[in-house]
Chains A and B, each alone.
Chain A
Amino acid sequence: MLAEIKNVSKTYESDGNKISVLDNINFTVEDNDFICIVGPSGCGKSTLLRIIVGLEKPTSGEVLFKGELIAPDNPKVAMVFQNFALFPWLTVKENIELVLESKKHGEEAEKVACKYIKAVGLDGFERVYPRELSGGMKQRVGFARALAVEPVLLCMDEPFSSLDALTSQNLKDELLMLWADASMPPDAVIMVTHNVEEAVYMANRIIILSHRPGKIVADLKIELERPRNRKDPEFYRWVDKVYSLIV
Chain B
Amino acid sequence: MIFPKATISEIIGLLEVVNDSGGIEDAARLAADFDLELDEILPSIDGAELLGFVKVTDGNIELTADAQKLLDTGIRERKKIIRDKVGGVEIIKELKNKLIESSGHKMKKEDTLKYLQNRIATTDIESYFRIIINWTRHAGLIGYNSDSEEICLMSRE
Q: Are the C-beta atoms of B17 and A169 separated by less than 8 Å?
A: yes
Residue of A nearest to B11 (CB): A166
Query: In chain A between 102 and 122, which residues have their CB closer than 8 angstroms to a CB of chain B?
Result: 118-121
Q: Are the C-beta atoms of A119 and B75 separated by less than 8 Å?
A: yes
Interface 9-mer from B51-59, B90-98, B99-107, B141-149: B141-149
CA of A128 to CA of B13, assembled, Å: 23
Shortest beta-carbon distance from B106 to chain A in Å: 15
Interface string of B5-19 (1 = CB under 8 A from A): 001011111101100
**Could you say which interface size class chain B belongs to?**
20 to 34
CA of A129 to CA of B16, assembled, Å: 28
Indicate whether A125 reaches chain B with its CB closer than 8 angstroms. Answer: yes
Interface string of A138-152 (1 = CB under 8 A from B): 000000000000000
In the complex with contacts A118-B76, A230-B20, A170-B137 CB distance below 8 A: no
Interface string of B65-105 (1 = CB under 8 A from A): 00000000011101100000000000000000000000000
Q: Are the C-beta atoms of A129 and B9 separated by less than 8 Å?
A: no
Interface string of A213-235 (1 = CB under 8 A from B): 00000000000000001110000
Residue of B nearest to A118 (CB): B76
Contacts of B140 in A (CB 8 A): 123-124
Q: Are the C-beta atoms of A169 and B138 separated by less than 8 Å?
A: no
Interface string of A157-192 (1 = CB under 8 A from B): 000000011111111011001100100000000000
Indicate whether B38 reaches chain A with its CB closer than 8 angstroms. Answer: no
Contacts of B144 in A (CB 8 A): 128, 132
Query: In chain A between 24 and 68, which residues have their CB closer than 8 angstroms to a CB of chain B?
Result: none
Contacts of A129 in B (CB 8 A): 146
> Can you give 28 contacting A-B residue pairs, CB < 8 Å?
A118-B76, A120-B75, A123-B79, A124-B138, A124-B140, A127-B143, A128-B137, A129-B146, A134-B134, A136-B7, A165-B35, A166-B9, A166-B11, A166-B14, A166-B17, A167-B7, A167-B13, A168-B13, A170-B9, A170-B12, A170-B13, A170-B16, A171-B13, A173-B16, A177-B74, A229-B20, A230-B20, A231-B21
Chain A residues near B (Cβ < 8 Å) = 118-121, 123-125, 127-129, 132, 134, 136-137, 164-171, 173-174, 177-178, 181, 229-231
